[in-house]
Amino acid sequence: MSGADDGREAGFRKVPAYRVAGDALVAEQCLVVGEDALSIDVEGIGSYTLMWTPTEPREAAAGYSREDGLLADAGNPEALALAAGFCFTEGLIAGLDDIRSIAACPDTPGVITVQLVDPHKVKPRRRNVTINSSCGICGGRDAIDDGLLNLSPVRDLLRVRAGQLGLMMAKMRQRQSVFQQTGGSHAAAVFSGEGDILAVAEDLGRHNALDKVIGACVLNRCDLSACGVLLSSRMSFEMVVKAVRAGFELIAAISAPTSLAIEIAERYGVTLCGFVREERVTVYTHPRRLQAAAVVAAGDKIPC
């Protein structure tokens, strides 16, 4: 099949499968989320290979340089966004000004090369590794106890109505084209205090989706103050660390947090919300950013 025929450019693939119908097996074509390898070669630091989902065509060269800015045929190429976001959440860069260049070539679409302005000042936590779609930041408990995260508390500017979270989650779902086709991808979306969705990214890996949306904001020099992020996944330690690095004040997800995610959010001033549904949210830390009509103590009757 060609790329256009099997949905390769849209983040999914057509594969043969069988559907059970009573006692019969019926042959059909099934859509599954695409998975590919992307190597991010950071000059002077190392090479990182991610398993990811390309959702855009990769037929043209694209790049960024300090002298010329973003060079691409259209939009913000997601491979560059993923590379920039990964470098950011790995702590290799603090912003776009730390990047000399990022380049993707049509002859080697599976490789992104990154040049830093000053690679000698970078202290990477890991080099030359392959990172699968469910893996994030290494370190865990030891990284927290030894003070290796190098994080700063987030600001306290964001305020949203409690009922907005479910509405924004619905807006994100409407823009999850890969999930609508396959049911097999994650998404992340940046939102403002006004409830506007500023950027959305999808990938088979929840870490990649978050890195993509952060990277898109880095490449566009977006002001992320007073912003939050929506996640279609659970909230683990590494996901919260990535969000804190980006300065997101509120993290809202459709699933649950881990105990370590709650600890990190509490420590760095992040409002952590799980189980976001149309009219339901569970707030685990720093609830002051959610404006509610009433706050009910445990054991009290909820007002009608």
Let me know if residue 28 belongs to a domain. Answer: no
Q: How high is the pLDDT of residue 74?
A: 57
Let me know if residue 286 belongs to a domain. Answer: yes
Q: How high is the pLDDT of residue 16?
A: 82
Let me know if residue 12 belongs to a domain. Answer: no
pLDDT digits (tens, 9 = 90+) for 116-148: 999 999 988 777 777 765 555 444 455 555 555
Give this prediction's pTM: 0.85
Let me know if residue 188 belongs to a domain. Answer: yes
Number of domains in the chain: 2
Of 105, 135, 222, 273, catalytic: 135
Residue ranges in the chain modelled with pLDDT below 70:
1-10, 20-23, 25, 58-60, 72-76, 132-148, 293-304
Both 166 and 282 in a single domain? yes
Q: How many residues does the chain have?
A: 304
Q: How high is the pLDDT of residue 244?
A: 96
Q: How high is the pLDDT of residue 304?
A: 40
Both 123 and 227 in a single domain? no
**Pair of tokens at residue 230:** 């929506």
The parent domain of residue 43 ranges over 36-136
Cα pseudo-dihedral 255, 233, 245, 214, rounded to 10: -140
pLDDT digits (tens, 9 = 90+) for 241-282: 999 999 999 999 999 998 889 999 999 999 999 999 877 889
Q: Give the Cα separation of 93 and 102 in Å (integer).
A: 13
Let me know if residue 56 belongs to a domain. Answer: yes
Q: How high is the pLDDT of residue 70?
A: 79
Decide if 135 is catalytic: yes
Q: How high is the pLDDT of residue 1?
A: 33
Let me know if residue 48 belongs to a domain. Answer: yes
Last residue of a domain, one of 136, 151, 173: 136
Q: How high is the pLDDT of residue 126?
A: 78
Let me know if residue 89 belongs to a domain. Answer: yes
Q: How high is the pLDDT of residue 139?
A: 44
Both 113 and 166 in a single domain? no
**Pair of tokens at residue 1:** 């099949």
